[in-house]
Amino acid sequence: MEKLLDLIRNRYSCRGYSDKAVEAEKVAYIKECVRLSPSAVNRQPWHFRFVVSKEGREKLQSCYSRPWFAEAPLYVIASLLHEEEWVRADGKAHGNIDVAIAVEHLCLAAAEQGLGSCWVCNFDADRLHALFAMPETEEPVAIVPLGYARDPQVPPKSRKAAEDIFSEE
Ligand X SMILES: Cc1cc2nc3c(=O)[nH]c(=O)nc-3n(C[C@H](O)[C@H](O)[C@H](O)COP(=O)(O)O)c2cc1C
Interatomic CA distance for residues 4 and 61, integer angstroms: 32
User: Nearer to ligand X by C-beta: 28 or 162?
Assistant: 162
What part of residues 8-37 is at the interface with ligand X (CB under 6 A)? 12-13
Q: Among 118, 128, 144, 146, which residue sits at the site for ligand X (rule: CB under 6 A)?
A: 118
| Nearest distance in Å: CB 122, ligand X | 3
Distance of CA 93 to CAs 40, 41, 51, 84, 99, Å?
A: 10, 12, 28, 10, 12
138: number of CA atoms within 13 Å, CB side?
16
Instruction: With contacts defined by CB under 6 A, name the span among 40-48, 85-93, 112-120, 131-139 that binds ligand X.
Output: 112-120
Q: Which residue is nearest to ligand X (CB)?
A: 122
3-state SS track over 70-137? HCCCEEEEEEEEHHHCCECCCCCECHHHHHHHHHHHHHHHHHHCCCEECCECCCCHHHHHHHCCCCCC
Report if residue 121 touches ligand X, rule: CB under 6 A.
yes
Report if residue 137 touches ligand X, rule: CB under 6 A.
no
User: Nearer to ligand X by C-beta: 41 or 121?
Assistant: 121
Angle at 81 between CA 76 and CA 84, to 5 degrees: 140
What's at 125, amino acid-wise?
A
| Nearest distance in Å: CB 114, ligand X | 16
Report if residue 41 touches ligand X, rule: CB under 6 A.
no
144 in helix, strand or coil?
strand
Instruction: With contacts defined by CB under 6 A, name the span among 20-28, 38-46, 74-82, 113-121 that binds ligand X.
Output: 113-121
Q: Among 10, 62, 65, 122, which residue sits at the site for ligand X (rule: CB under 6 A)?
A: 122
Report if residue 63 touches ligand X, rule: CB under 6 A.
no
Q: Residue 148, Cα to own-chain centre: how many angstroms? A: 15
| Nearest distance in Å: CB 37, ligand X | 15
Name the site residues for ligand X (rule: CB under 6 A): 12-13, 118-122, 157
